């Protein structure tokens, strides 16, 4: 007791709806970590415009995602749950960090390469420098831990490199953060192409399950999931990526381990297994969906909640920004 809590920071983009991958890979951990850590959670709405957005849809997505995270269990009495674009320090520090981040480093980012292929008509500078903004998000809060899915670990490594470089020049300005990926669900794969991650940009709509999908849609997507021909529920990512992915999902929502799952479905067909995974996901998401329906109707509550959090985040992060600027040579 009396010890200072470690600091956690994480963020999610409000681009489209939350996927089961987001939920199992990151958000479940956000909720669990609130008990032990001092947590800052953000809607990364500045990151969102690296891909062109429709203004009306964007406003709706921001509100929906804010409500959904509250419904998932992000608790404003325990955590600081703010909106990135409302806190001015993020864009400011991102600019500074851009000047301490190398072209070569950014060129190696897998997400940049993937997104440039997907949006070949709009490879903008923001898409390229996206990781410096993410580094700013993290470093502003002197975060010890950053809960993310496995796909964000490369950005986290870059954040550590930028912070080390800056500290090497100016002394201890930034805490060096550690990534924190979950045991189950770090990499939830597409139900249709189980060798690529589940993502809203999946070309096949049956590949991606959304937290707000209706039960009948969820069950349909799981029943259509791609598997293999040897009719055995066994974990083997290399040779059985589809079944292994379904096992990972089942494990994350039931708490059962691989052996227990293999035993439960020994001698049963894939049809039974896929339906059971679908049902388990539906049951797991039911309370979240119900809570979301209540919260989304209460705009006043949401606004009050983010305003309090935005002000706290602004004040807290300003200290780090001021320190970094002073070290670089700016005058007040």
Report the nearest approach of ligand TYM to the CB of residue 169 (Å). 23
Q: By CB under 6 A, is residue 162 in contact with ligand TYM?
A: no
Which two tokens mark 82? 């703010």
Q: Residues 211, 19: contact at Cβ < 8 Å? A: yes
Q: Of 28, 145, 197, 274, which residue is the catalytic one?
A: 197
Residue 197 designated active-site = yes
Stretch 82-141 residues interacting with ligand TYM (CB under 6 A): 134, 137-138
Residue 200 designated active-site = yes
Query: How far is CA 14 from its chain centroid?
Result: 10
Q: By CB under 6 A, is residue 22 in contact with ligand TYM?
A: yes
With CB under 6 A as the rule, give the number of residues binding ligand TYM: 26
Piece of 57-65, 181-189, 212-220, 300-308 that binds ligand TYM (CB under 6 A)? 181-189
Q: By CB under 6 A, is residue 192 in contact with ligand TYM?
A: no
Residue 115 designated active-site = yes
266-283 per-residue burial string, b: 16 or more CB within 10 A, e: under 16? eeeebeebbebbbebbbe
> Quick one: 59 or 326, whose CB is closer to ligand TYM?
59
> Quick one: 258 or 264, whose CB is closer to ligand TYM?
258
The DSSP bridge pattern shows strands 145-147 and 178-180 to be parallel
14/182 Cα distance (integer angstroms): 21
Q: Residues 163, 132: contact at Cβ < 8 Å? A: no
Quick one: which of 115, 197, 221, 284 contacts ligand TYM (CB under 6 A)?
A: 197
Report the nearest approach of ligand TYM to the CB of residue 331 (Å). 30
DSSP class of residue 243 equals H
Q: By CB under 6 A, is residue 187 in contact with ligand TYM?
A: yes
Q: Residues 171, 201: contact at Cβ < 8 Å? A: no
Quick one: which of 70, 146, 226, 280 contacts ligand TYM (CB under 6 A)?
A: 146
Q: Residues 145, 177: contact at Cβ < 8 Å? A: yes
Report the nearest approach of ligand TYM to the CB of residue 183 (Å). 12
Q: By CB under 6 A, is residue 69 in contact with ligand TYM?
A: no
For 21, list phi and psi in degrees, rounded to 5. -65, -45
Q: How far is CA 235 from CA 151, 225, 328, in A?
A: 21, 16, 52
Closest to 248 (Cα-Cα) out of 190, 179, 287, 206? 190
Q: Of 78, 175, 200, 291, which residue is the catalytic one?
A: 200
Q: By CB under 6 A, is residue 149 in contact with ligand TYM?
A: yes
State whether residue 92 is helix, strand or coil: helix
Catalytic residues: 115, 197, 200
Binding site for ligand TYM (CB under 6 A): 9-13, 21-22, 25-26, 44, 47, 134, 137-138, 146, 148-149, 151-152, 185-188, 197-199
């Amino acid at each position: 007791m009396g010890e200072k809590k470690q600091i956690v920071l994480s963020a999610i983009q409000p681009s489209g709806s939350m996927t089961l991958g987001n939920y199992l890979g990151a958000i479940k951990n956000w909720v669990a970590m609130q008990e032990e850590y001092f947590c800052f959670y953000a809607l990364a709405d500045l990151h969102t415009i690296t891909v062109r957005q429709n203004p009306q849809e964007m406003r709706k997505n921001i509100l929906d995602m804010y409500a959904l995270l509250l419904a998932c269990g992000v608790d404003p009495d325990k955590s600081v749950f703010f909106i990135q674009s409302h806190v001015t320090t993020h864009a400011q520090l991102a600019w500074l960090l851009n000047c301490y981040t190398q072209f070569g480093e950014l060129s190696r980012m897998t997400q940049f390469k993937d997104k440039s292929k997907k949006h070949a008509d709009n490879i903008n500078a923001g898409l390229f420098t996206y990781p410096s903004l993410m580094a700013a998000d993290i470093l502003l809060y002197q975060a010890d831990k950053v809960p993310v899915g496995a796909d964000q670990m490369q950005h986290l490594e870059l954040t550590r490199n930028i912070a080390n470089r800056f500290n090497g020049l100016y002394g201890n300005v930034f805490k060096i953060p550690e990534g924190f990926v979950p045991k189950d669900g770090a990499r939830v794969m597409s139900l249709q192409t189980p060798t690529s991650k589940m993502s809203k940009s999946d070309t096949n709509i049956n590949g991606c399950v959304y937290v707000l999908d209706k039960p009948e849609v969820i069950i349909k997507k799981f029943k259509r999931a791609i598997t293999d021909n040897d009719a055995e529920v066994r974990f083997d990512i290399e040779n059985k990526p589809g079944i292994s992915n379904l096992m990972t999902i089942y494990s994350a929502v039931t708490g059962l381990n691989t052996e227990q799952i293999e035993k439960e479905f020994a001698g049963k067909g894939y049809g039974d297994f896929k339906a059971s995974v679908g049902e388990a996901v539906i049951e797991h998401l039911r309370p979240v969906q119900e809570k979301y329906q209540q919260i989304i109707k209460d705009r006043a509550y949401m606004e009050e909640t983010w305003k309090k959090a935005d002000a706290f985040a602004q004040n807290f992060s300003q200290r780090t920004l001021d320190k970094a600027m002073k070290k670089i040579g700016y005058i007040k």
